[in-house]
Amino acid sequence: MQYKTLGKSGLLVSELCLGAMTFGKEVNEEDSINMVHRFLDKGGNFIDTADVYVGGESEKIVGKAIKERRSEVVLATKVRMRVGPHPNDFGYSRRRIMEGIDQSLKRLNTDYIDLYQLHVWDHLTPIEETIRTLDDLVSSGKVRYIGCSNFLAWQMMKALSYSDFQNMVRFISIQPQYSLINREMDREILPLCKEENVGIIPWAPIGGGFLTGKYRKGESPNSGRLSNGVGESSWENRANEKNFAILEAVQEIAHSLDKTPAQVALRWLLQKEEITSPIFGASSLEQFEENIGSIGWELTAEQWNQLDEISKLPSEYPTRFLEKFKR
């Protein structure tokens, strides 16, 4: 397992991050704990969850899994989504964040979070209030670093600017959807992260399962995540001509290397300069072993470039216009 610094920090994280969204739902508690221990035994140290995953059960299971190995783990969780029926049970108000961190700490059975992330932008709460609260959490020792997830470029830049202007804690990472079939972040988020030295820890690195190769063109799935997914994870959103062309290229390279399509899709991300640590999940121990099999080998430059070329975004304004002014 290789390690990278997370953004503008000295924090070292493993090249793969274990996502715990399936814990307590697709994966029972015993297998989830076993999965965490296997990950740590293989050199992984980065685990991601959220207060809203499976109604808090994911955090509880992670807490049990790392109880005797807390010092080995870079533990990440999130706040923002609705966790109860009352008016202040969601968002980034000072009250919600203060309550949220204590609830997460209790479920995770720890006294600090390594990386506390804002799950989605909150249009109600001023970012100034949110950053000041997060700064207090870092000062108190309950949180070591902060990050964000699913932010637009202007939202992240507004937060970073306020942090810098006020000499407060700043985001060291962002967690966006990013894969061979979801490269929208190439437009502004990736260049911004490179400029501001913000780490990128992508979720859905194999396209919500689309890049595993188990789905076929013209056949609606009757099982798996895409069979009942909505929004980003819906079959309608994934099943288009370009994505199937990308999948075909992934499968061809996988066959030539005696690897699985999922391993090739993850490997492409692992070799992408801007990416810090893709977040992979698993619905079984077998799937876990397959996904972690993406480390320890490399795509050739030709193979990597083939995937990069077929999956890249079309040339668009203003990027297309500004290219001519590069020095």
Structural domain boundaries of the chain?
3-175
The size of the chain, in residues, is: 327
Catalytic annotation on 162?
no
Q: What is the Rg, in whole angstroms, of the alpha carbon atoms belonging to the chain?
A: 19
Match domain 3-175 to its CATH number in 1.10.150.110, 2.60.40.420, 3.20.20.100, 2.30.130.10. 3.20.20.100
CB environment 240-267: b (16+ within 10 A), e (fewer): eeebbebbebbeebbeebebbbbbbbbb
For the CA atoms of 136, 140, 145, 148, the dihedral, rounded to the nearest 10 degrees, stands at -40
Ramachandran angles phi, psi of 312, nearest 5°: -70, 155
What's the rounded Cα separation, in Å, for the pair 57 and 23? 7
**Sequence-ordered alpha helix ranges (H) in the chain:** 29-41, 57-66, 94-108, 127-140, 153-165, 189-196, 235-238, 241-257, 261-270, 285-292, 301-311, 319-322
Per-residue pLDDT of the chain (327 residues; tens, 9 = 90+): 999 999 999 999 999 999 999 999 999 999 999 999 999 999 999 999 999 999 999 999 999 999 999 999 999 999 998 877 888 888 999 999 999 999 999 999 999 999 999 999 999 999 999 999 999 999 999 999 999 999 999 999 999 999 999 999 999 999 999 999 999 999 999 999 999 999 999 999 999 999 998 887 766 666 555 656 666 767 777 778 899 999 999 999 999 999 999 999 999 999 999 999 999 999 999 999 999 999 999 999 999 999 999 999 998 888 888 888 877
Please tell me whether residue 48 adopts helix, strand or coil conformation. Answer: strand
End-to-end CA distance of the chain: 38
**How many angstroms separate the CA atoms of 279 and 183, rounded?**
16
Per-residue confidence (pLDDT) for residue 70, from 0 to 100: 97
Q: Which of 53, 116, 145, 178 is catalytic?
A: 53
Please give the Cα distance from 15 to 270 (Å, whole number): 7
Torsion sign, CA atoms 197, 201, 203, 206: positive
Q: Which two tokens stand for residue 139?
A: 């000062």
Order of all β-strands in the sheet with 46-48: 199-200, 171-175, 143-149, 113-118, 74-79, 46-48, 17-19, 279-280
Predicted local distance difference test score (pLDDT) of residue 239 = 77
Nearest Cα to Cα of residue 144 among 9, 275, 5: 9
